Structure 1
Amino acid sequence: MELKVYNNKQEVAEAFSNYFLELTKGQEEIHVALSGGSTPRVIFDILAADFADKVDWGRIHFYWGDERCVPPTDEQSNYKMTVDHLFSKLAIPASNIHRVLGENDPNAEAMRYANLLEINLDRVGGIPQFDLVILGMGDDGHTASIFPHEIELWEAEDHCVVATHPESGQKRVSINGKVINIAKEVVFLVTGSSKAEKVHAIIDQTENFLNYPAALVKPSSGKLKWFLDKEAASLIAQD
C-alpha cells in the first residue's frame, strides 16, 4: 500500500492526473474502471483542460466500477457526470466507452455487464482483469457499491452484482471484490474530513476494520495507492 497525502482536493486531482498520464504511456490498450463522486469530477475537469493533448485517449477503454440504476440523463448517473466533465470535451471514440445501462433491469444488466467484461478483458483465473480500477470510499466505508450491510457481495460468484443503498433503497450495479483485487493497479481517491474516521480505521487496522468493504481492497498485484487530502488523512497514526 502506498499513501500519498496532499493539501486539498485540487492537489489530489492534479497528482492523480499526472499518475494517470504515466500509466497510459507505452501501452497499446488500457482498460480502466471509473468511479463516481466529487473527487473524480475535479480530476475529469483537470484531465480535460490540461491533458487533452497529452494522453492518447483512443487507446483507453472506459468502464464503471459501479453505477446507479437510473437513466444516463439522470443527475445521479456516474456516466452522465463523466460525460459532462470529461467525454464531452475530448475526442474519445464511442466504441471505447462501455457504460452500465442503468435504465435497464438491474439483475439483467449485472449479467450483461459481467459478460461484457469477460469478452473485453483478459482473464486471470476466470476473473476479468482491468489495468486500473479507480475507487472512492463512502463515509460508511463502502467502496464501489459494496456496502457494509451487504459485505457478502464482495466474494459473490458473479463478476457484477446488484447492490442496494442502505438508506435510499436505490439499486446499483457494481463489480465485486474479486474483480477489484485482480486488477493490475487499484487507486483510492478519498478527500474530506467526513472520511477521516474510516481512513484511520482501515489504514491503521483498528478493531472491526474488516467490517468496511474498503478494507478488503488488497490487489494481488500489490499495487494499491491511496490519494488523500490532509483532511481525510488527519487521523492516521504518524510514524
Structure 2
Amino acid sequence: MMKLHVYPSVAEVVATLADWISDYITDTLQKQERFTFCLAGGSTPKDLYHILAMRYSDSIEWERVHFFWGDERYVPYHDERNNARLAIDAFLCHTDVPDSQVHRMNTGVDENTAVDEYQKILETYFKESQHSFDLILLGLGNDGHTLSLFPTNNNEFSTWTASVRGPETLRLTLTPEIVNRSKQVVFLVAGDEKAEKVAAVINGPADPVRLPAQLIKPANGDVHWFLDAAAAKDYRG
C-alpha cells in the first residue's frame, strides 16, 4: 500500500518522519527482539539523522537496532562522499548501538569481495525470514533513480547486493530482490527539482527502465512518501 505524507517545509517533513520512526521502532520492539533499519545517504537524510540523534538518543532502545545501508559509493570510509561515514558521524555515534550491529558496505576490498561480504551479512539476518528490513529509507534522484539503480544500468538482478557503475564512481547497492521484502519502505524527498520525477514515479505509466524507483514494490509491505510541498506539487492524488 502506498501512503503519502506531505508537509509545507523540509524541516517539518524530517521532524515528522523522525517522530514516525521513533514510534515505529518502539512499537515493533514490543513484539520482537530486534529492529533492522537500512539507511540512505544524502543531505536530507542527514537532517533526519541529526534529529534522531538529538531527540531520541535516550528514548529508543538503540542497543536492539541493527543498521544497514542501501548503497555506497566505492570510496574510502574517510571520504566525505561515503554514506556510512555521514550517517555514523551525524547519528549512530550519538546512540548506544553496538558496533557489531552496524553493517556498512566494505569499500576497502575489491568490488566482488565487497558484494559477497554484504550478501553473506544479509543472508545471516534474512535468509530464513519472510521479510527483510523492518524499515528502509530511500531517496529519489533527479533522474528517477533510487539506491544506486540508475536509468543507464541494466537493473535486473538475482542477488541481494550488486556493484554498478554510477555517474561519478563505482557503487555498491542493494537490489529490489531484498528491498521488496521490507516491511516498511520510506521515500524521503524534498525540493522543487524532484517534483516532476515524484509525479512520474507515482502517477506515471510503468517504465522502470527510465524510472528505476518504480522497481520498489514491496510484496507484503507499505511504501511511504514523505514529501515537502515543493516535491509534491505535481502529484495527482
CA–CA distance in 1 between the matches of 2:107 and 2:235? 37
> Are 1:135 and 2:138 matched, yes or no?
yes
Structure-to-structure mapping, 1:89-104, within 5 angstroms: 89-104=94-109
> Are 1:35 and 2:40 matched, yes or no?
yes
What does residue 61 of structure 2 align with? 56
* Runs of 4+ with >2 A deviation: 120-125, 206-211
What does residue 52 of structure 2 align with? 47
Report if the CA contact (8 A) 1:201-1:207 is conserved: no
What does residue 22 of structure 1 align with? 23
> Are 1:6 and 2:11 matched, yes or no?
no
Q: CA deviation at 1:51?
A: 0.9
TM-score when scaled to structure 2?
0.93
Report if the CA contact (8 A) 1:139-1:198 is conserved: yes
Structure-to-structure mapping, 1:69-218, within 5 angstroms: 69-124=74-129, 129-150=132-153, 152-153=154-155, 155-166=156-167, 168=168, 170-206=169-205, 208=207, 211-218=210-217
Q: CA deviation at 1:209?
A: 6.2
Report if the CA contact (8 A) 2:74-2:172 is conserved: yes
TM-score when scaled to structure 1?
0.92
Q: CA deviation at 1:217?
A: 1.1
Count of aligned pairs between the two proteins: 232
Q: 1:201–1:122: structure 2 CA closer, same or farther, 3 Å change rule?
A: same
CA–CA distance in 2 between the matches of 1:84 and 1:208? 37
| 1:73 partner SS | coil
CA–CA distance in 2 between the matches of 1:194 and 1:203? 16
Summarize deviations over 1:57-102 as a string: whole Å, max 9, x none: 0010000010111111110000110121112222221111111012
Task: Output the amino acid matched with 1:229.
Answer: D
Summarize deviations over 1:108-127 as a string: whole Å, max 9, x none: 101110111001235457xx
What does residue 230 of structure 1 align with? 229
Report if the CA contact (8 A) 1:34-1:134 is conserved: yes
Q: CA deviation at 1:7?
A: 1.2
- What percentage of residue pairs aligned between the two structures are identical? 37
Task: Output the amino acid matched with 2:151.
Answer: P
Summarize deviations over 1:211-239 as a string: whole Å, max 9, x none: 2111121111141101001111011125x
Q: 1:200–1:79: structure 2 CA closer, same or farther, 3 Å change rule?
A: same
Structure 1, unmatched stretches of 5+, are: none
Structure 2, unmatched stretches of 5+, are: none
- The worse-fitting range, judged by mean Cα deviation, of 60-69 and 83-92 is 83-92
Task: Output the amino acid matched with 1:133.
Answer: I
Summarize deviations over 1:2-48 as a string: whole Å, max 9, x none: 01001111111111111111111214201111100111100010011
